[in-house]
Amino acid sequence: MIDFILPDIGEGIVECELLEWLVAEGDIIVEDQPVAEVMTDKATVQIPAMHSGLVTKLYYQAGEIAKVHAPLFAMQINADSAQQQEAPQVPKAHESQPQSHPEQNELQTNTIQTHRDIVDFILPDIGEGIVECELVKWLVNEGDVIVEDQPVVEVMTDKALVEIPAKYSGTVTKLYYAQGEIAKVHTALFAMQVVGSDQPSSFNVNAHTSQSTQEVHSKVESSTLTQTTGKALASPAVRRMARELEIDLAKVQGSGDKGRVLKPDLLAFKNHKTTQPAVAYAPIASGGTHTEAIRGIKAAMAKQMMHAVFTVPHFTVSEEIELDKLIEVRNQLKGNFEKQGVKLSFMPFFIKALSLALKQFPIINSQVNEDCSEITYFDDHNIGLAVDSKIGLLVPNIKGVQHLSLFEIAQKTNELVELARLGKLKSPDLKGGTISISNIGVLGGTVATPVINAPESAIVALGKIQRLPRFDAKDNVVAVNIMQVSWSGDHRIIDGATMVRFNNCWKSYLENPLTMLLELK
């Protein structure tokens, strides 16, 4: 019987809530079968089995908090799986380079018996069915001395940018991937010589008095210790060490990426030591170029846009909308929303008015099949929002807008935009959209010709709100708040007249927002 260890989920996550067991004690499971669904503060993740066998004990109940690197459940593995079984928390040998790892067949249960103390670090399961990722940036080099929990590499999936920390202290001996290459989950990322290979996952609080650990810690760069506030970013091992040393993590400035607190930071804090990071100066060069591979979100966007442009016949309709009355209504409601902790922008009004207009023009909320022989009409208005995130253009969508209140739309809009900008959206948020909005106005744009987010049939680009002169009914020049909008439609199923009528309907709700009340139930 062996324990299944909850893998590192990335991004500094040290614990998660067990939402639901997908298996029960006594169940027979197979390798890669989802066994549990857990939720972190960033996403819901399914944890797959690493071996086939019989589930003997579940260590947590639904709703309890599970710790990363702690046993999640116990199982009796099958004989064929046992032949390939390595100890929990002990890395596998790199499968793609067996000739460089003669120790591969010497791994035994609950021990590390590797040639010259060399072990491979296995890329952990990142969740959500992700099987590969792009290696964005190595944070260490071959020959570097690293410590447990130190960030070693940044990888990017098609959903998020994830930082992978080291599980042991030691020396990096080999990096198996170059930056920009695609790494597979459950294969080796790098090899390292572990400090104290007989117990590589343990850490003696007083070990800094030994020469080997002194060398490890002396080579780890750290930032100047300054006063910090808020919850510290640290792994369970670091938190345990902090408790043993009676150190308040909130007072320690982490030297890791994004302020992550590492064990050397605790030792330096305990001994009142501070170090200044080295400042590197490079000569200024000109006339150079560099080439980058298109990967991850950028690659997905490139393929999507190429498909849309070359397969969907676009046409565009532009119009201007007067927003004086909408601005007044928003100002009246803004305070009430803020009292409930929700920021009210103009976007929820645009979204709700769009949903009301779609009820009258269902063809705008439809999609055509590839050979243009069928049209599918969608009852749900799943309205997408184009967001300029740190990992590229993302278009999450709000599901079932026709059933949501303005307050609920505002809540969901704020949530999705924040998750998108952080690169932490879940896969369902990006799927199933029926129509999209691109708000170029937030960046200062006024007019655009948007590309349809295929297989959707329409998209609108919103320009910035401008105070412009216009003539009133008596030919007097007045100042009016104007927003330019540009619709692109799939000309195979939407004609220009229909798009204009649809836009006029949407425009009427925005220019006279109280008329939306007539449609609300």
Can you give the pLDDT at residue 80?
54
69 is an active site residue: no
**What pLDDT is attached to residue 9?**
66
pLDDT-derived band at 426, boundaries 50, 70, 90: confident
Please measure the distance between the N-terminal and C-terminal CA atoms of the chain and give it in whole angstroms. Answer: 58
DSSP letters for 464-480? EEEEEEEE-TTS-EEEE
pTM of the model: 0.52
Q: Which residue has the higher pLDDT, 518 or 521?
A: 518
Q: Identify the pLDDT of residue 50.
A: 79
* Distance separating alpha carbons of residues 37 and 66, to the nearest angstrom: 11
What pLDDT, on the 0 to 100 scale, is given for residue 216? 32
- From the candidates 69, 186, 314, 491, give the one annotated as an active-site residue: 491
pLDDT at 408 over 90: yes
Cβ neighbour number for residue 457 with a 10 Å cutoff: 24
**In whole angstroms, what is the distance from residue 490 CA to residue 311 CA?**
10
Check the CA dihedral 226-229-235-240 and report its sign.
positive
pLDDT of residue 107: 33
What pLDDT is attached to residue 126?
A: 65
Tell me the C-alpha distance between 312 and 264, whole Å: 57
Interatomic CA distance for residues 225 and 220, integer angstroms:
14
Does residue 254 or residue 346 have the better pLDDT? 346
Distance CA 27, CA 9 (A): 25
Q: What is the mean pLDDT of residues 171-181?
A: 90
Strands 383-389, 435-439: pairing kind: parallel
pLDDT class for 210, splitting at 50, 70, 90? very low
Structure tokens at 444: 């200062």
**pLDDT classification of 227: cutoffs 50, 70, 90:** very low
pLDDT, mean of residues 25-54: 80
**Residue 420's pLDDT is what?**
86
- Higher-pLDDT residue of 266 and 258 is 266
Strand duo 435-439 + 458-471: pairing: parallel
Q: Is the pLDDT reported for residue 283 higher than 70?
A: no
Model pLDDT, residue 298: 73
| Rounded Cα distance, 42 and 65, in Å | 15
pLDDT for residue 338: 94
Average pLDDT, the chain: 79
Q: What whole-number percentage of the chain has pLDDT above 70?
A: 76
Residue 479 amino acid letter: A
Instruction: Please calculate the CA angle 359-360-364 and round it to the nearest 5 degrees.
Output: 80
Looking at residue 112, its pLDDT comes to 33
On the question of pLDDT at 355 being above 90, the answer is yes
In the prediction, which pLDDT does 393 show? 85
**478 neighbors 470 (Cβ within 8 angstroms):** yes
Query: Is residue 235 scored above 70 in pLDDT?
Result: no
Task: Count the alpha carbons within 13 Å of 22 in the hemisphere toward its beta carbon.
Answer: 14
pLDDT for 42 beyond 70: no
Q: What is the pLDDT of residues 472-515, one digit of tens each?
A: 999 999 999 999 999 999 999 999 999 999 999 999 999 999 99
Residue 208, pLDDT > 50, answer no
